[in-house]
């Protein structure tokens, strides 16, 4: 069948086709005259103050260079909550864009350039598994004295779960404040979904390791009623650590710290608190991405750092601080990239921006209103507990 289109419809069909993602994905990253960069810059300039581009520190250089604001999860959440821009283009991962939408004002729209940019750690806690855990705590008579705290690397549904049950959200830079807030209100914390951040933060506050027990959601499936613990162990615990982790950070091992110290005498080892407890214990300092950057910025010329975090950030810091005489290496020789952060390409960024210029919003992230309410309560508590 042949469709007969009038002039205006044909023109708009042609424009739609031109704006299809496939056409953008065929564009090379680099081309003579940097065609893609020029298109992104031109679209961004046309959008002016109606749009803001937020970029997480793990983004590729070709993308993050266009960010109006860069930051760790905490800083980007605050920036998203404060901006007046109509469109918030989030170059990060899904949970970050969801959090921005939850904190956004009426009329603002949040865009994630590639909807496949998720977070494998966030996927390790499903809301039905968390509800099963809570049911078990209720049966054991422990729920009323337990406060759920979720790392921001989690779905909006889990944030809402925490908000509705008197809990809150934290980021790696606000985890300690969040735990203090929660311990002021309950005897025990259910910490989701990163066991390492929970354990490292609890330990830094003086909690003994044996009072922080792991809740294994998969053990429940094979009949362990109490997530791999006895009822007595649950009752004696101060922290229940969800058995989740970040594959990028869990790769770092204590032996990497020993090797770095042997190779570069005087080296400072700084790592993200998503790394294992044993690695964090051997490191000189822990911090969120923003805090790791600040540590390098404040160091004197000649300082040497091994950094245990995502490789794009480490490489960017190495390049940026080389002229100041600071040497930066990855803690692990191989380095590891966050494949989901990497999904946001300059092609995707050009696609969402040029569509916005044409008045089309693509890849909008919208949290359902019923989830939004309690998730916002949990995020607002995070912002209040840290500042």
Q: How far is the CB of 240 from ligand 13P (least distance, A)?
A: 22
Contact 147, 381 (CB under 8 A): no
Contact 213, 241 (CB under 8 A): yes
DSSP 189-239: EEEES-HHHHHHHHHHTT--GGGEEEE-HHHHHTT-TTTTS-HHHHHH-SE
Q: Which residue is it, tokens 């830094």?
A: 204
Q: How far is the CB of 120 from ligand SF4 (least distance, A)?
A: 5
**Nearest residue (CB) to ligand SF4, 271 versus 338:** 338
**Does 79 sit near ligand 13P (CB under 6 A)?**
no
Q: How far is the CB of 279 from ligand 13P (least distance, A)?
A: 14
Size of residue set near ligand 13P by CB under 6 A:
12
**Nearest residue (CB) to ligand SF4, 121 versus 149:** 121
**Does 112 sit near ligand SF4 (CB under 6 A)?**
no
Residue 235 burial (10 A CB sphere; 0-12, 13-18, 19+): middle
**Does 248 sit near ligand SF4 (CB under 6 A)?**
yes
**Does 341 sit near ligand SF4 (CB under 6 A)?**
yes
**Does 317 sit near ligand SF4 (CB under 6 A)?**
no
Q: Which does 120 bind (CB under 5 to 8 A by kind): ligand SF4, ligand 13P, none?
A: ligand SF4
Q: Which residue is it, tokens 């598994």?
A: 129
Q: Which of 24, 40, 55, 72 binds ligand 13P (CB under 6 A)?
A: 72
Q: Which residue is it, tokens 């209103």?
A: 369
**Does 104 sit near ligand SF4 (CB under 6 A)?**
no
Q: Which stretch binds ligand 13P (CB under 6 A): 40-48, 70-78, 127-135, 162-170?
A: 70-78
Q: Enumerate residues 6+ apart whose C-beta is below 8 A from 254.
A: 276, 278, 279, 281, 282
Q: How far is the CB of 93 from ligand SF4 (least distance, A)?
A: 5
Q: Which of 153, 330, 345, 347 binds ligand 13P (CB under 6 A)?
A: 153
Distance in angstroms between the alpha carbons of the first and the last residue of the chain: 63
Largest CA distance in the chain: 75
| Of residues 15-74, those binding ligand SF4 (CB under 6 A) | none
Query: How far is Cα 340 from Cα 120, in angstroms, rounded to an integer?
Result: 8
**Nearest residue (CB) to ligand SF4, 51 versus 341:** 341
**Does 98 sit near ligand 13P (CB under 6 A)?**
no
Q: Which stretch binds ligand SF4 (CB under 6 A): 80-88, 275-283, 316-324, 333-341?
A: 333-341
**Per-residue mark of binding to ligand 13P, 233-272 (x: CB under 6 A):** -------------x-------------------------x
Nearest residue to 366 (alpha-carbon basis) of 76, 92, 114, 110: 110
Beta bridge partners of 146: 188
Strands 146-151 and 188-192: parallel
**Does 73 sit near ligand 13P (CB under 6 A)?**
yes
CA distances to 50, 152, 154, 316 from 194, in Å: 36, 10, 9, 26
Q: Which of 59, 70, 171, 355 binds ligand 13P (CB under 6 A)?
A: 171
Nearest residue to 239 (alpha-carbon basis) of 130, 301, 146: 146
**Does 130 sit near ligand SF4 (CB under 6 A)?**
no
**Does 59 sit near ligand 13P (CB under 6 A)?**
no
Q: Which does 216 bind (CB under 5 to 8 A by kind): ligand 13P, ligand SF4, none?
A: none
Query: What is the torsional sign of CA 148, 152, 158, 162?
Result: positive
Size of residue set near ligand SF4 by CB under 6 A:
12
Angle at Cα 301 formed by Cα 299 and Cα 303, nearest 5°? 60
Q: Which residue is it, tokens 């939004």?
A: 372
Contact 274, 196 (CB under 8 A): yes
Contact 230, 224 (CB under 8 A): no
Q: Which does 77 bind (CB under 5 to 8 A by kind): ligand SF4, ligand 13P, none?
A: none
Q: Which of 53, 89, 179, 338 binds ligand SF4 (CB under 6 A)?
A: 338
> Which chain residues interact with ligand SF4 by CB under 6 A?
93, 119-121, 153, 246, 248, 274, 310, 338, 340-341
> Which chain residues interact with ligand 13P by CB under 6 A?
57, 72-74, 153, 171-172, 246, 272, 274, 288-289
């Amino acid at each position: 069948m042949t469709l007969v289109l009038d002039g205006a419809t044909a023109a708009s069909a042609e424009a739609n086709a031109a704006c299809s993602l496939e056409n953008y994905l065929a564009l090379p990253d680099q081309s003579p005259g940097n065609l893609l960069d020029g298109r992104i810059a031109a679209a961004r300039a046309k959008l002016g103050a109606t749009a803001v581009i937020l970029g997480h520190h793990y983004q590729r250089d070709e993308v993050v260079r266009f960010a109006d604001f860069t930051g760790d999860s905490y800083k980007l959440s605050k920036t998203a909550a404060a901006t007046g821009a109509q469109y918030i283009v989030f170059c990060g991962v899904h949970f970050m864009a969801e959090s921005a939408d939850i904190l956004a004002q009426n009329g603002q729209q949040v865009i994630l350039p590639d909807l496949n940019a998720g977070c494998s750690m966030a996927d390790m806690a499903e809301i039905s598994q968390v509800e099963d855990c809570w049911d078990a705590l209720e049966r054991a008579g422990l729920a009323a004295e337990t406060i759920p705290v979720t790392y921001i690397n989690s779905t909006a549904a889990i944030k809402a779960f925490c908000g509705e049950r008197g809990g809150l959200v934290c980021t790696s830079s606000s985890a300690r404040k969040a735990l203090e807030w929660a311990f002021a209100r309950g005897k025990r914390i259910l910490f989701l979904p990163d066991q390492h951040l929970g354990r490292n933060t609890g330990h830094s506050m003086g909690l003994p390791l044996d009072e922080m027990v792991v809740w294994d959601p998969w053990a429940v499936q094979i009949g362990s009623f109490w997530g791999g613990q006895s009822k007595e162990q649950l009752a004696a615990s101060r922290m229940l650590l969800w058995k989740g982790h970040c594959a990028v950070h869990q790769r770092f091992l204590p032996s990497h710290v020993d090797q770095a110290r042997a190779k570069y005498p005087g080296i400072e080892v700084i790592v993200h608190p998503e790394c294992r407890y044993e690695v964090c214990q051997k490191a000189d300092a822990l911090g969120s991405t923003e805090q790791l950057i600040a540590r390098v910025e404040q160091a004197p010329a000649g300082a040497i750092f091994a950094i245990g975090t995502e490789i794009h950030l480490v490489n960017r810091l190495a390049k940026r601080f080389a002229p100041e005489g600071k040497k930066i290496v990855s803690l692990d020789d191989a380095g590891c990239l966050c494949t989901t952060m990497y999904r946001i390409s300059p092609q995707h960024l050009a696609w969402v921006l040029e569509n916005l210029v044409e008045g089309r919003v693509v890849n909008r992230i919208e949290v359902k209103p019923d989830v939004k309410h309690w998730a916002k309560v949990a995020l607002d508590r995070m912002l209040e507990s840290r500042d």
